[in-house]
Amino acid sequence: MANRSPYEPFRDLSSPNRNICPVTTELDGSGRLMVGGCLLSQLAERYDTPLYVLDRQTLRSSCVAYREALKKYYPGESLPLYASKANSSLILSNLVAAEGFGLDAVSEGELLTALRGGVPGERIVLHGNNKSDRELYLAYKNGVTIVIDNLHDIERLANLVPKEGNPAQLMLRFTPGIECHTHEYIRTGHLDSKFGFDLDDLEEVLLELKKSNWSVLNGLHAHIGSQIFELDPHRDLAKVMAEALQMARKIGHPIKDLNVGGGLGIKYIESDDPPSIQNWVEVVAKAVFEECLSRDLALPRLMCEPGRSLVANAGLTLYQVGSQKDIPGLKKYISVDGGMSDNPRPITYQSFYSACLADRPLDPTEETVTIAGKHCESGDVLLKEIALPSCKSGEILAVFGTGAYNSSMSSNYNRIPKPAAVMVDKGHSALVQRREGPEDLLRYDIFPEAFLELM
């Protein structure tokens, strides 16, 4: 029987966000890495590289952890929502819906994917700071809760909702004025944010919405950032949200939902030490309960929006090693057949990842190298100064923690096609997103014949 890989210490198998690898990671009899019962190097051979791999059991374990923790620590109703911007697809929408989750969408594409994937409209919320009329109407006609982010949303909806139709279901987003120690590009809860109404404007907006006969304000929303390892800011958020809830209900809004956003961090590298899903939910749930109890407020349905902490550690990316360049006294570059088009986070956020050779994960490390992508960009570096065994062209490199914000942020830079994605479970693998080919990139190009005649 294969042994679990000691590649990294599995700290908490009940909370996948605290593990670098998917929870099903193990070694076969020859010491090669397997995930979901599938040999990674064989997946690379069968489906080609770069290849996104998603482990179904890790995804389900994360969903169960959130669902059971909410049931354990919050005495009222609750509904976790998958933040699909992390990784949007039909299969993921279907999987989270089957686990009893709702979904958070931020565009017509994400909304359509969720609906086609089987998420009921009443369990979807639509976010966005500049929603189009098409997005707003698609949400309205499918019974999706629309998160009001600004006055523009209110003005557009007032014109879109039919006078004799059902009222639009609304949730109001505001900035709670709480900062977290995270990358400044993904801090969304402080006062200088493009998202949501300022706290000082909240009462005025609530009074204005009370006059509207085309809508019902059912919920309040706030979010304080992403990849957060701290818990105290969530206690502070509960207090601010309870105060807003009290104000809204006093004005006469039937607020039944309190959405605290997401933001729980994950383990990308060995030094990362995020809270467990259970610990995060316990702190949030108890804080909301206590703040509502102290104000004699009936408990709202508690919503949260995990994205990264649901899917990141369920995913990994497989690359094939190619050329090498050794600069004596400086560094050694090892190039792979992907890069910033399939993972833009290192060049965008200076993000760090863990990696190993798929067929030799336990071989002694012999050199410190920089893993470079194949794009025409000097900053196209996936991993800086990572210790690896001496590797050869053609070997498969596995990069972990890529289930979130890799596929969803991918591009066709240098006209490189996007990778395929497979899901693995109990020794089986299935394609869940087809690989693009070079010909696919020409589908939307047009030769304007009228212009050509003028040339």
Q: Taking residues 301-310, what's their average pLDDT?
A: 98
Whether 346 and 383 have beta carbons less than 8 Å apart is answered as yes
Whether 234 and 284 have beta carbons less than 8 Å apart is answered as yes
Q: How many Cβ atoms from other residues are within 10 Å of residue 378's Cβ?
A: 8
Q: Give the least confident one: 274-278, 282-286, 447-451.
A: 447-451
Report the relative pairing of strands 301-304 and 257-259 from DSSP bridges: parallel
List of residues 6+ apart from 231 with CB closer than 8 A: 275, 279, 280, 283
The mean pLDDT value of the chain amounts to: 93
Structure tokens that stand for 333 in this block: 């570059």
Q: Is 384 helix (H, G, I), strand (E, B) or coil?
A: strand
Predicted TM-score (pTM) of this structure? 0.94
Does the active-site annotation cover 391?
no
Query: What is the C-alpha separation between 405 and 423, in angstroms, rounded?
Result: 17
For residues 222-251, one letter each, b for 16 or more C-beta atoms within 10 angstroms of the residue's C-beta and e for the rest, the string is bbbbbbbbbeebbbbbbbbbbebbbebbee
Query: What is the C-alpha separation between 52 and 201, in angstroms, rounded?
Result: 44
Segment 15-65, tens digit of pLDDT: 999 999 999 999 999 999 999 999 999 999 999 999 999 999 999 999 999
Query: What is the C-alpha separation between 422 and 424, in angstroms, rounded?
Result: 7
Whether 285 and 74 have beta carbons less than 8 Å apart is answered as yes
Query: What is the C-alpha separation between 330 and 336, in angstroms, rounded?
Result: 20
Query: What is the C-alpha separation between 226 and 118, in angstroms, rounded?
Result: 27
The reported pLDDT for the residue numbered 304 is 98
Burial label for 206, CB within 10 Å (0-12, 13-18, 19+), is buried
Question: Number of C-alpha atoms within 13 angstroms, CB side, residue 330?
Answer: 5
From the list 38, 180, 356, 376, the catalytic residue is 376
Query: What is the C-alpha separation between 55 and 421, in angstroms, rounded?
Result: 11
Domains and CATH numbers, the chain: 16-55+313-441 (2.40.37.10), 57-311 (3.20.20.10)
Query: What is the C-alpha separation between 189 and 223, in angstroms, rounded?
Result: 6
User: Any bridge partners for residue 398, and if so which?
Assistant: 318, 356
Segment 234-263, tens digit of pLDDT: 999 999 999 999 999 999 999 999 999 999
